[in-house]
Chains A and B, each alone.
Chain A
Amino acid sequence: MPSTILYGHPVSQPSRSCQWFIDFTNQKVQIVAIDTFKAEHKKPEFIEKFPNGQFPALEDGGFYLSESMAILKYLARNDLRFTPKDSQQQARLDEYLGRHYSTLRKISTDFFRPFMLGNKDMIEPGYESIKNILEKFDARLGTQPYVLGDSLTLADFLFVPEVDQLQVVGERYLEPFKNIRLYLDRLTRDVDGYKKCFDEMTQAVGVIQAAHRRRQQQQQQQ
């Protein structure tokens, strides 16, 4: 068994970023799925290694690391394809990271999560709150093939698992953003590991939604 372990979940967008990157770069990393229904990430043995109790989380020998961008950068350190050529290119990636967590993450927190948990009333307001940032990135992807320019970078690995959720909620939510649609189609076709990443997510979403429906039915019967 590899000594490097990634703890994650197939629906967690940051986990998907890391797992997809591991598949794409063919690294020997064991993937361990966190059982969120049993709150495994809040148990003492997990907290001892990862005090903030979050995933994805990477264990490499005795080194413990959380936060998806930190994990991606750590895994990509020796890969020349993902090494920025100069400090300005590095700065662009860091700039994207700041933007990602302050704006793009709302796609998951304010739009996709309500859908998964069956909170229908929150989906449309959530969509309204993310339209602006989607328009900006849709415009950008009309002029360049990847989020930061002409080549695939770690930014794409973070960006994709957020935006590909739009179509899972409903095709009409992605429909206005034609460049993002074309970008996702291109990555499905050309980038190793992405289709598997997407399919695993849709399967896991189905399982979670079914579990929530059962729980709601049980509560109504009581």
Chain B
Amino acid sequence: MVMKLRWHELSMPSRAVAWYLQYIGQECELVSVKVFEGEQKSEEYTAKHPMGQFPALEEGDFYLSESSAILQYLAEGRPELPTDRLERAKLEEYITEHHTTVRFLSSECFAQCAYVKENSTATKEEREPILAYRVPIITFILKHYEYVLGQQDYICGKKLTIADFLFCCEVCGCRYLGIESNCNNNISKTHTQTPSA
């Protein structure tokens, strides 16, 4: 059955799914959502994806959103989705951490970009306090995972899982903004190890 992914290249969750599709060699038509024209709120879109979010997978009459759900669905039967009970539990643990914490990296980074873009006439002194609070939080998150990746090769342990695809894409957002703390050597190592997108 033909698969279609509604995505956007600036959406890190979209990139994680697109990357994984490429990695596993799954044929899938990538269709860009016209975000700035509000396509995700149109009747056609919300009829299939009621929450109006992307990435969103379409496979025949089956419609699925939420990047972690799509990745788990695509990874069924593959090594990137552990079958061992304890390994699976650790992956589930990361997925929730991803939604509650790690996602902050790209969502906040892009909020920064948007602010800077909209306030291009603001002085450095005016912009700094607005941007300043985000950097420590981002640095804190990166420091935690720098520590984790100093103890093990991949986010969930010794093996590559869908967690690594989700994580790496979020870290890319930080790099885009030039937030390279001097403590993310281990993160860089993992990023190199994970097949390039």
Residues of A within 8 A of B (CB): 52, 63, 65-70, 73-74, 77, 87-88, 90-92, 94-95, 97-99, 101-103, 105, 136
Q: How far is the CA of A90 from the CA of B92 in the complex (A)?
A: 13
Complex CA–CA separation, A98 to B70 (angstroms): 10
Residues of A within 8 A of B135 (CB): none
Given contacts A95-B64, A101-B96, A101-B99, contact A73 B89 (CB under 8 A): yes
Task: Known pairs A94-B72, A99-B66; list 13 more (Cβ under 8 Å).
Answer: A52-B144, A63-B86, A65-B90, A67-B95, A70-B92, A70-B95, A73-B88, A74-B85, A74-B92, A92-B64, A94-B69, A97-B95, A98-B65
What's the tally of chain B residues with a CB closer than 8 Å to chain A? 27
List the A residue with the shortest CB-CB distance to B73: A91
Question: Do the beta carbons of B73 and A94 come within 8 Å of each other?
Answer: yes
Select the residue from A90, A91, A99 with max chain B CB neighbours within 10 A.
A91
Contact of A136 with B50 in the complex, beta carbons under 8 Å:
yes
5 cross-chain CB contacts under 8 A: A65-B93, A67-B95, A70-B93, A70-B96, A74-B85
Task: For A101, list chain B residues within 8 Å (CB).
Answer: 96, 99-100
Question: Chain B binding site: helix, strand, loop or mixed by DSSP?
Answer: helix
Residues in chain B within 8 A of chain A (CB atoms): 50-51, 62, 64-70, 72-73, 76, 85-86, 88-90, 92-93, 95-97, 99-100, 103, 144
Chain B residues with CB under 8 Å of A91's CB are 64, 69-70, 72-73
> Which residues of chain A have C-beta atoms less than 8 A from B99's C-beta?
97-98, 101-102
The residue among B72, B73, B96 with the most chain A CB atoms within 10 A of its own CB is B96
